[in-house]
């Protein structure tokens, strides 16, 4: 068979905010497709109207827009295999249901919810399958006439797949190797519901994988139990040659390492488990997002890529291009991947520092505005360059740099006690004169002049520098003192020194 073009899909159901594990699934699909020159699709699996949540689809597309993960095809993009929203493909599925029914590979079932409930009460671990189906109300047990009458009446029926027991079903998984499942453990899944004339996830997912010519199904390991059904239905429909290859990704685990990562872990330990903020329209419950918490999208992408995969050479910082080149499913861990959110912060710091100062300044402008502060962009650029090493998030730049924008209005008491000595006022008065005469005022020249003056006078370097810092910053923090003087400029430097002398003497 000729090599098919790689086509992968991300197929979320719009049932709420997209969990960060789902984002990782999409990312791995994206990296895999891009590496192989393939297509990456977004298909919305919304056939379960009971679980549909308004806004969830927009949330999904907005999340990937923010993260810079682009789909080649699908909802919001278009393409030759559409529509890509399953609720808009309603008329496509009926044909496949009928094919199975006509071939005796599926059957009508009329059991009411009450009847099924009674059965479950009566039989422990009841499963609708070869061992029980002949005791139920379906087209296998009812006379043909009765089935005809019931379906013609529009009776609320479902269509179930007929699974023959005792067969070993082989699933080839690129991460797990060969997984063999005995068909006896599978139940006769509902494929179609007459009530809303819609297929269930099981049928729609598989039919669409075929119609959209999907070559690889890369998804979370919670979907592994659905894989045998994929294999069976492809066979029932005669599509075995086009069977996609599977890769079931490891679960994201709690930071402590065992158990599935949940929203509660995030609440408990203070980190988001969703890409964007989300307010559940039904419960009103609010959840934090990576975007609103101040994460940079490229940091989130790099961090997620390494939560369950590694390039094998210890590399951590990788551009999307590098990840595309290096990604491979064989290097995905089989066991779960611990969600190390501290590592996520580390990545954010790295990407923030790496950012061009101008870009970072632009991100910082809204924060300045929040603090009713305005400044020229090149000034802000210079400031962020001086303090960015000290922060993890853009928001924190303010705490580290507010004194570049606002002169101290008071002085930290402890610092004053420790740093403002008996002779500080006199020495800083002299320092102000030295600075007044200093031309040019760049950090390097000023530092040379000031140090020479201190030496010639026999003053204590540390004492003067500490007192000057207190005057300029208001407390004992901040970058190199002469970087501060250069940035705020001569007039402002002298003004702040004089103000400290007045206020602290
Ligand atoms: N709709 C399923 C989900 O919500 C798709 C699973 C799959 O990728 O096959 O994840």
Which CATH number is 475's domain given?
A: 1.10.10.350
CATH of the domain at 317: 3.40.50.620
Same domain? 157 vs 236: yes
For the CA of 9, the closest atom of ligand 1 is 8
Same domain? 33 vs 157: no
Same domain? 217 vs 280: no
Joined tokens for residue 198? 């819609």
Phi-psi region of 31 (alpha: psi -120 to 50; beta: other; left: phi over 0): alpha
User: Domain residues for 129?
Assistant: 87-249
Report the distance separating Cα 442 and Cα 437, nearest Å. Answer: 13
Distance from Cα 285 to the centre of ligand 1, integer Å: 24
Could you tell me if the CB of 86 is within 6 A of ligand 1?
A: no
Report the distance separating Cα 84 and Cα 493, nearest Å. Answer: 62
305 falls within a domain:
yes
Q: Which one of 249, 268, 290 terminates a domain?
A: 249
**Domain count of the fold of the chain:** 3
Residue 505 is predicted with a pLDDT of: 85
Could you tell me if the CB of 11 is within 6 A of ligand 1?
A: yes
Contact (CB, 8 A) for 272 and 293: yes
Same domain? 107 vs 243: yes
Residue 327, SS3 per DSSP: coil
Distance from Cα 205 to the centre of ligand 1, integer Å: 8
Same domain? 243 vs 135: yes
Phi-psi region of 478 (alpha: psi -120 to 50; beta: other; left: phi over 0): left
Contact (CB, 8 A) for 59 and 18: yes
Q: Which one of 249, 275, 307 terminates a domain?
A: 249
Report the distance separating Cα 38 and Cα 36, nearest Å. Answer: 5
Contact (CB, 8 A) for 67 and 23: yes
Helix (H) / strand (E) element for 191: namely strand 190-193
- On whether the pTM is more than 0.85, the answer is yes
Residue 50 is predicted with a pLDDT of: 84
Q: Which one of 324, 354, 384 terminates a domain?
A: 354
123 falls within a domain:
yes
Same domain? 258 vs 348: yes
Residue 153 is predicted with a pLDDT of: 83
90 is catalytic: no
377 falls within a domain:
no
Phi, psi dihedrals of residue 248, rounded to the nearest 5°: -100, 115
38 falls within a domain:
yes
- The DSSP annotation for 107-175 comes to EEE---HHHHHHHHHHSTT---STTTGGGSSBTTTS-HHHHHHHHHTT---EEEE-PPSS-EEEEEETT
Residue 1 is predicted with a pLDDT of: 53
Residue nearest (by alpha carbon) to ligand 1 atom 5: 11
The residue written with tokens 């008065």 in the block is 429
331 falls within a domain:
yes
- The DSSP annotation for 58-90 comes to HHHHHHHHHHT---SEETTTB-TT---BGGGGH
Same domain? 103 vs 237: yes
Helix (H) / strand (E) element for 48: namely none
Distance from Cα 63 to the centre of ligand 1, integer Å: 17
CATH of the domain at 153: 3.90.800.10
Residue 192, SS3 per DSSP: strand
Contacts 24+ apart (CB under 8 A), 130-137: 130/163, 130/164, 130/165, 130/184, 130/188, 131/165, 133/107, 133/160, 133/162, 133/188, 136/109, 136/111, 137/109, 137/110, 137/111
Same domain? 424 vs 322: no
Same domain? 127 vs 142: yes
Distance from Cα 449 to the centre of ligand 1, integer Å: 68
For the CA of 223, the closest atom of ligand 1 is 6
Annotated catalytic residue: which of 90, 119, 260, 263?
263
374 falls within a domain:
no
Same domain? 61 vs 155: no
Same domain? 307 vs 197: no
Same domain? 221 vs 162: yes
Report the distance separating Cα 167 and Cα 181, nearest Å. Answer: 8
364 falls within a domain:
no
> 98: how many CB neighbours lie within 10 A of its CB?
13
Tens of pLDDT along the chain (505 residues) come to: 568 999 999 999 999 999 999 999 999 999 999 999 999 999 999 998 888 899 999 999 999 999 999 999 999 999 999 999 999 999 999 999 999 999 999 999 999 999 999 999 999 999 999 999 999 999 999 999 999 999 998 878 999 999 999 999 999 999 999 999 999 999 999 999 999 899 999 999 999 999 999 999 999 999 999 999 999 999 999 999 999 999 999 999 999 888 999 989 998 999 999 999 999 998 999 999 999 999 999 999 999 999 999 999 999 999 999 999 999 998 898 889 999 999 999 999 999 999 999 999 999 999 999 999 999 999 999 999 999 999 999 999 999 999 999 999 999 999 999 999 999 999 999 999 999 999 999 999 999 999 999 999 999 999 999 999 999 999 999 999 999 999 999 999 999 999 999 999 8
381 falls within a domain:
no
Contact (CB, 8 A) for 74 and 42: yes
| Chain centre to alpha carbon of residue 322 | 19
Residue nearest (by alpha carbon) to ligand 1 atom 10: 12
Could you tell me if the CB of 205 is within 6 A of ligand 1?
A: yes
């Amino acid at each position: 068979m000729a090599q098919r073009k790689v086509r992968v899909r991300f197929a979320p159901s719009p049932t709420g905010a997209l969990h960060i594990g789902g984002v990782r699934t999409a990312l791995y699909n994206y990296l895999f497709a891009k590496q192989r020159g393939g297509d990456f699709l977004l298909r919305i699996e919304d056939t379960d109207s009971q679980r549909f949540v308004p806004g969830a689809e927009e949330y999904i597309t907005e999340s990937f827009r923010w993260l810079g993960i682009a789909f080649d095809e699908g909802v919001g993009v278009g393409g030759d295999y559409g529509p890509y929203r399953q609720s808009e493909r309603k008329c496509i599925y009926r044909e496949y249901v009928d094919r199975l029914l006509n071939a005796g590979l599926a059957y009508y079932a009329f059991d009411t919810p009450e009847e099924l409930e009674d059965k479950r009460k009566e039989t422990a671990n009841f499963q609708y399958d070869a061992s029980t189906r002949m005791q139920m109300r379906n087209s296998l047990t009812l006379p043909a006439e009765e089935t005809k009458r019931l379906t013609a009446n529009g009776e609320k029926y479902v269509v179930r797949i007929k699974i023959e027991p005792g067969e070993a079903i082989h699933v080839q998984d690129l991460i797990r190797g060969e997984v063999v499942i005995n068909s006896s453990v599978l139940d006769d899944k509902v494929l179609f519901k007459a009530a809303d004339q819609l297929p269930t996830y099981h049928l729609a997912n598989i039919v669409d994988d075929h119609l959209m010519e999907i070559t690889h199904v890369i998804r979370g390991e919670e979907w592994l139990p659905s894989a045998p059904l994929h294999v069976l239905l492809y066979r029932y429909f005669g599509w075995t040659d086009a069977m996609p290859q599977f890769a079931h990704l490891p679960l994201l685990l709690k930071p402590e390492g065992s158990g599935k990562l949940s929203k509660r872990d995030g609440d408990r330990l203070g980190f988001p488990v969703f890409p964007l903020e989300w307010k559940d329209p039904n419960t009103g419950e609010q959840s934090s997002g990576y975007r609103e918490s101040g994460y940079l999208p490229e940091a989130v992408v790099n961090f997620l890529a390494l939560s369950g995969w590694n390039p094998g050479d210890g590399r951590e910082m990788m551009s999307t291009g590098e990840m595309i080149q290096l990604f491979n499913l064989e290097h995905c861990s089989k066991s779960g991947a611990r969600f190390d959110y501290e590592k996520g912060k580390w990545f954010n710091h790295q990407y923030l520092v790496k950012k061009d100062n101008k870009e970072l300044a632009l991100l910082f402008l809204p924060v300045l505005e929040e603090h009713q502060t305005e400044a020229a962009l090149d000034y802000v650029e210079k400031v962020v360059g001086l303090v960015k090493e000290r922060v993890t998030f853009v928001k924190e730049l303010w705490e580290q740099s507010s004194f570049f924008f606002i002169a101290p209005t008071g002085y930290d008491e402890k610092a004053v006690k420790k740093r403002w000595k008996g002779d500080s006022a006199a020495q800083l008065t002299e320092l102000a004169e030295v600075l007044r005469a200093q031309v040019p005022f760049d950090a390097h020249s000023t530092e040379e002049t000031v140090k020479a003056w201190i030496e010639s006078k026999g003053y204590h370097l540390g004492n003067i520098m500490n007192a000057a810092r207190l005057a300029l910053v208001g407390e004992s923090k901040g970058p190199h003192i002469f970087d501060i003087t250069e940035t705020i400029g001569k007039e402002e430097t002298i003004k702040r020194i004089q103000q400290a002398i007045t206020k602290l003497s």
